[in-house]
């Protein structure tokens, strides 16, 4: 039986070291968790993983709808189609304020992505 041992030069190790060190922060890891209501939601070490999106329109309802659409679009992009339902999400929060300078409503939609 033949055993091959390869040597890594110091230059090669210099290229590999950033890959070994660049591990994502443990707080940034989002995992699916099953809740008692039957939903599977994204969490970060037992706390909700919240997504947020913004919308700006002249009408407050349109601004809210834009924020929700953008929340859904980003969530689907990040986790897949089944995670992008605003209706299935938990912890909905919508905040809006009127920007008099731009004469638009600025809304922010926040929620924890979930799927059934």
Residues 37-89: tens digit of each pLDDT: 899 999 988 899 999 999 999 999 999 999 999 999 999 999 999 999 999 99
**What distances in angstroms separate CA 38 from CA 3, 51, 81, one per listed residue?**
52, 20, 18
The pLDDT-based confidence of 102 (bands split at 50, 70, 90) is very high
The pLDDT, as a whole number, for residue 89 is: 96
Specify burial of residue 74 (Cβ count, 10 A radius: 0-12, 13-18, 19+).
middle
Percent of the chain with pLDDT over 70: 76
């Amino acid at each position: 039986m033949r055993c091959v041992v390869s040597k890594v030069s110091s230059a090669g190790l210099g290229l590999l070291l950033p890959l070994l060190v660049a591990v994502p922060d443990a707080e940034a890891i989002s995992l699916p968790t099953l809740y008692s209501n039957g939903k599977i939601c994204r969490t970060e070490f037992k706390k909700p993983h919240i997504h947020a999106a913004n919308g700006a329109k002249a009408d407050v309802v349109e601004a809210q709808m834009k924020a929700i659409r953008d929340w859904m679009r980003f969530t689907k992009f990040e986790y897949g189609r089944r995670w992008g339902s605003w209706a299935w999400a938990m912890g909905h929060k919508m905040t809006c304020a009127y920007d008099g300078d731009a004469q638009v409503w600025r809304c922010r939609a926040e929620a924890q992505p979930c799927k059934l």
